[in-house]
Chains A and B, each alone.
Chain A
Amino acid sequence: MTEKNETVIALLGQPNSGKSTLFNALTGLRQHVGNWPGKTVEKKEGNFEHNGVHYLVADLPGTYSLSANSDEEMITRDYIASGKADVICILADSSQLERSLYMLADFAGITVPCFLLLNMSDVADEQGKSVNAKELEKKLGIPVESFSAPDTKAYDGFYRALERAVREKTSLDPGSLEKRYEEIETYTRVKAMIPADVIPGYSNVWLAAKAVEGDAPVIAKIKAALSVSDKNAFDTALSAVDKGVVLTGERKFAWIDELLSGVTKRTETKISLGKFDRLITHHIWGKPVVILTIVLGLIASFIPALPLMGIGQLIGGIPDPLNEALLNIGCPAFIASVLCDVLIRSVAFIVQMLGFVFGVTLVFGLLEEIGVMARISYVFDNTMAKFGLQGKSVMPFLISFGCTMGGAAGTRVIDNWGQKVLTIALAWAVPCGAAWAVIPMLSTIFFGAWTPVIIVVILLVMILHMWITAKIFGGSLVKAEDRCGMIMELPPYHKPKWGALFRYVFGRTKETFVRALKVVVIVALVFWLLSYTSSGDITASILYRVGHFIEPVTKLFGMGWQTFMAFIASSLGKEGALGVLSTIYTGAGTISVGSVVSGAAAENINELLVANIPKPEALALIFAMTFNMPCIVALAATYQETHSVKWTARIALYYTGVALILAGIAYYIGLLIW
């Protein structure tokens, strides 16, 4: 029970057990996502109401077992021990029941009330497998329900099981499993030594089994409760075991076999790979097929994105006439400018990008749900492991060639928070669509036929940048234990639950909009204040004065104050740099977020640029812009996905610094050439 009188239900299950789908279906838009205190693990909670009872759902991190090998597992165990949960819902995959019941076996011995959900019953049906849930219920003594997320009727069964588990406080009897544990000599000896109530909620059966498995935190807890001589006896007893996990593991699976005998029925099917699986596991075609899949997914995300992009463009058309109208009716220029240039343009900018976030979340959320993302992960796991990432990270990288914000949104299919943040940090190095629109153009103006060379160099620098960034941030974001070699399952394909998926996508898009709006308006307002002049003369602005003042420093990186301002503007939006340069060199108009976002430039911009910027400085600017912070919306999306101000700021400062260094290098190389 929470203070608000909510019944707390915790979802426990292995990855791919359909935990997230259930969580989204139950809670819809009422979710809050954060991090577990002091840990790089995501904490997801949500609310729902059924039969007048308010529930709080905690989506525990997806882990394969309850050992102590990762933060995720420790958090899960500590959460169960904390007594916060009134009931634990354990999920298993009906189509792979034997393997996925390992979680239940590992849970056995914990006294917290629980019930078992046999998920993916639709997939099991298709494979000709059936489970007699009632029979299993008799054997286990806890409610057992067959369940499939897309089937709306299945939820009645879920609620019934939930209510009964809460009412009757049904806990799993580990007796039959213990009989098997007792075959392990050390188990019996160790169990006899364990005092009562070492960890609340965990029985001595569970503790003794974990001690045999060599579980360090459990052993430490037990020893803390023992006298010195008992401690030594305890250590001696444990030292007799070798590979305890294998010993208990064999018993757990034997127990599962016994549970399932007479409970499951199946028609023999030949094991074979499906068409898509044959393609992606092919040693030549695997990677191209996956890249093609992601690119097609990217194109598909534009379809739902287009209406929102159109709306954004319509909003973007409001400021100019509105500004004029406001000035005509005698509204102070200052207020009109804040309203039009800061507020409305920020909204227009975000709404345009939001379409892409919506599309990416929908399409790649769907690919995740039906099981395609796991295949993508499989194909690229070895490549991405070099960065300390999982194979899925390849998808946000590819999306980032289109839009970094979409790439950031795409990282939500990565279940490890540290790897998610690292993926976003690396995705920033990928030049986005706006960069590809501006950079080749700038490059052609200054370097003509050399443009392809510059683009190749940019791509090489990108890879080097990602590699170095992975080295710098990887250590603290991705723990050594998460860098193990690939051991993963290729889950069966399943049907999506459209309603839950759409609710989830709308929820995330709305949340992104709100958070992005806050960040963008603040940054836009600051930039606007810095660049505002009442006279319209750029040299009267604070930005100019600061730029001029620090010009000796920016010169070190090859940039005069004009190009440095363009660089600063490019961190709000790449297209903006041209607008800024145009404003400065034509001496007309103010620099505003408006000009930054719309990227309006004078017609003779090409001649102006060539006349005013020497080639080495232009090269410096090209690199500075390309590898700068992608844009403010990407910054906001990064904050939204990582929900960490610290990491968002760290990544942003790092990119600004690295962009300047790269600009400096480009400049000095440029000086050597020209």
Chain B
Amino acid sequence: MKKLSEMKKESKGVITSVNGDPRFISRITSIGLTPGCPVTVIKNEKNRPLLVYSRDTMIALNRSECSLIEVEEGKGA
């Protein structure tokens, strides 16, 4: 299990849990990042927002928020 923010560029995984306040969870769910959802990390550079690809969508996420999302690496498409 890894935090999304710790995933390397071009690595793939499946989201296992989403944490944080209800507002954040609601927002992240509505953009499609739910447990069981495969994600691909497109870009992960220091001090820059992460770029992840999931459900046909390129999503930019703040680093601090990404540490609230846990991922099982290597699984998924």
Contact surface of A with B, Cβ cutoff 8 Å: 14, 64-65, 67, 69, 95-99, 102, 106, 129, 213-214, 243, 245-246, 249-250, 253, 271, 273, 277, 281, 283, 378, 381-382, 481, 484-490
Q: Contact between A95 and B56 (Cβ–Cβ < 8 Å)?
A: yes
Question: Within the assembled complex, what's the spacing in Å between the Cα atoms of A250 and B34?
Answer: 6
Q: Contact between B27 and A69 (Cβ–Cβ < 8 Å)?
A: yes
Contacts A213-B26, A246-B35 aside, 16 further interface pairs with beta carbons under 8 A come to A64-B27, A65-B26, A69-B27, A95-B56, A96-B56, A98-B55, A99-B31, A102-B30, A245-B22, A246-B25, A249-B29, A283-B46, A487-B31, A487-B60, A488-B60, A489-B58
B48: CB under 8 A from chain A?
Answer: yes
Contact with A along B38-59 (1 / 0, CB 8 A): 0010110111110101111111
Q: Contact between B57 and A489 (Cβ–Cβ < 8 Å)?
A: yes
B1: CB under 8 A from chain A?
Answer: no
Q: Contact between A487 and B32 (Cβ–Cβ < 8 Å)?
A: no
Which of B28, B40, B64 has the most CB atoms of chain A within a 10 A radius of its CB?
B28
B59 to chain A, nearest CB (A): 5
CB neighbours (8 Å) of B53 from chain A are 271
A-B contact count (CB 8 A): 109
> Which 6 A-B pairs have CB atoms at the shortest separation, nearest pair first?
A485-B62, A249-B29, A64-B30, A99-B32, A65-B30, A99-B55
A487-B62 contact in complex given A98-B55, A250-B35, A283-B45, C-beta closer than 8 Å:
yes
B54 to chain A, nearest CB (A): 8
A174 to chain B, nearest CB (A): 18
Chain A residue nearest to B53 in the complex (CB):
A271
CB neighbours (8 Å) of B55 from chain A are 96, 98-99, 253
B67 to chain A, nearest CB (A): 11
Select which of A67, A250, A283 is within 8 A of B26 by beta carbon: A67
Q: Contact between A489 and B25 (Cβ–Cβ < 8 Å)?
A: no
Question: Within the assembled complex, what's the spacing in Å between the Cα atoms of A65 and B29?
Answer: 9
Q: Contact between A281 and B51 (Cβ–Cβ < 8 Å)?
A: yes
Question: Within the assembled complex, what's the spacing in Å between the Cα atoms of A250 and B35?
Answer: 7
Select which of A106, A249, A381 is within 8 A of B34 by beta carbon: A249
Question: Within the assembled complex, what's the spacing in Å between the Cα atoms of A273 and B52?
Answer: 11
Chain B residue nearest to A490 in the complex (CB):
B58
CB neighbours (8 Å) of A64 from chain B are 27, 30-31
Q: Contact between B35 and A96 (Cβ–Cβ < 8 Å)?
A: no
Chain A residue nearest to B46 in the complex (CB):
A283
Q: Contact between B57 and A99 (Cβ–Cβ < 8 Å)?
A: yes
Q: Contact between A486 and B25 (Cβ–Cβ < 8 Å)?
A: no
Q: Contact between A273 and B42 (Cβ–Cβ < 8 Å)?
A: yes
Question: Within the assembled complex, what's the spacing in Å between the Cα atoms of A78 and B48?
Answer: 38
Question: Within the assembled complex, what's the spacing in Å between the Cα atoms of A641 and B66?
Answer: 36
Sample (6) of A-B pairs whose CB atoms are under 8 Å apart: A64-B30, A96-B57, A99-B57, A213-B26, A485-B65, A489-B31
Question: Within the assembled complex, what's the spacing in Å between the Cα atoms of A481 and B21?
Answer: 11
CB neighbours (8 Å) of A213 from chain B are 26
Chain B residue nearest to A382 in the complex (CB):
B49
B76: CB under 8 A from chain A?
Answer: no
CB neighbours (8 Å) of A486 from chain B are 49, 60-62, 65
B56 to chain A, nearest CB (A): 4
Q: Contact between B65 and A487 (Cβ–Cβ < 8 Å)?
A: yes
Q: Contact between A245 and B59 (Cβ–Cβ < 8 Å)?
A: no
Chain A residue nearest to B28 in the complex (CB):
A487
Q: Contact between B29 and A271 (Cβ–Cβ < 8 Å)?
A: no
CB neighbours (8 Å) of B28 from chain A are 487
B18: CB under 8 A from chain A?
Answer: yes
Question: Within the assembled complex, what's the spacing in Å between the Cα atoms of A342 and B18?
Answer: 63
CB neighbours (8 Å) of B51 from chain A are 273, 281, 490
Q: Contact between B29 and A246 (Cβ–Cβ < 8 Å)?
A: yes
Chain B residue nearest to A272 in the complex (CB):
B42
B36: CB under 8 A from chain A?
Answer: yes
Question: Within the assembled complex, what's the spacing in Å between the Cα atoms of A441 and B49?
Answer: 43
Contact with A along B10-32 (1 / 0, CB 8 A): 00000000100011111111111
CB neighbours (8 Å) of A106 from chain B are 30
Question: Within the assembled complex, what's the spacing in Å between the Cα atoms of A292 and B24?
Answer: 33
CB neighbours (8 Å) of A281 from chain B are 43, 48, 51
CB neighbours (8 Å) of A489 from chain B are 31, 57-60
